[in-house]
Amino acid sequence: MSTRINQAQPYALGLFRMVIGLLFACHGAATLFGVLGKEQAEAGAWPGWYAAVIQLVGGCLVLLGLGTRIAALVASGSMAYAYFNVHQPEGLFPMENGGEAAAIFCWAFLLIVFNGPGALALDRLIGSRGTREPERRERPAAVTA
C-alpha cells in the first residue's frame, strides 16, 4: 500500500498545485475585472491592484506549472505581505482579522516552492525537451604500440 501512495505522490502534488493556482488566479481576476462577486480595483492602486496582478499571473503560472517555484515564491511572499501589513494589524489571529486565505495561500505556495511542481507541469515537459541525448556507446580507444 505504501508504495502505491508513494507512486501517486507526484500526481497528488500536481493536482494540489493546479487547484491552489486556479483559486489564486480567480482571486486576481475577481479583483482586476470586478467578477465573481468582487469589486474591481482601481488600476494602479497600492497594494490591491498590484496584489491582484500577482495573483492572476502567479496563479496562472502555478496552475500551468510554468516557472513554478519562482512564481510560487513571489505568490507566497505577496501573501505574507498581505497578512502582516493588511490583516494582522486588525487582530493577532487569522480568525480575528480575516486573513485565513492569505495565511493558507502563503503556506501552500511555500510548500510548492520546496516540493516542486509535481506531475503534469509544463516545467517538466519543457525541461525534458532536447536534453535527452541518444545513448552513445564509446568504442574502446585503439591501442598503439
pTM of the model: 0.83
Position 129 confidence tier, pLDDT thresholds 50, 70, 90: low
pLDDT at residue 125 greater than cutoff 80? yes
* Cα 111 to Cα 105: distance, rounded to the nearest angstrom: 10
Question: Please, what is the average pLDDT of the chain?
Answer: 90
Residue with cell 564509446: 138
Average pLDDT of span 95-120: 96
pLDDT at residue 44 greater than cutoff 80? yes
pLDDT value at residue 134:
44
pLDDT value at residue 60:
98
* Cα 1 to Cα 7: distance, rounded to the nearest angstrom: 10
pLDDT value at residue 84:
96
> Is 100 within 8 Å of 94 (Cβ atoms)?
yes
Render pLDDT for 45-100 as a digit per residue (tens, 0 to 9). 989 999 999 999 999 999 999 999 999 999 999 999 999 999 999 999 999 999 99
pLDDT value at residue 135:
45
Q: Over the chain, what HEC string results?
A: CHHHHHHHHHHHHHHHHHHHHHHHHHHHHHHHHCCCCCCCCCCCCCCHHHHHHHHHHHHHHHHHCCCHHHHHHHHHHHHHHHHHHHHHHHCCCHHHHCCHHHHHHHHHHHHHHHHCCCCCCHHHHHHHCCCCCCCCCCCCCCCCC
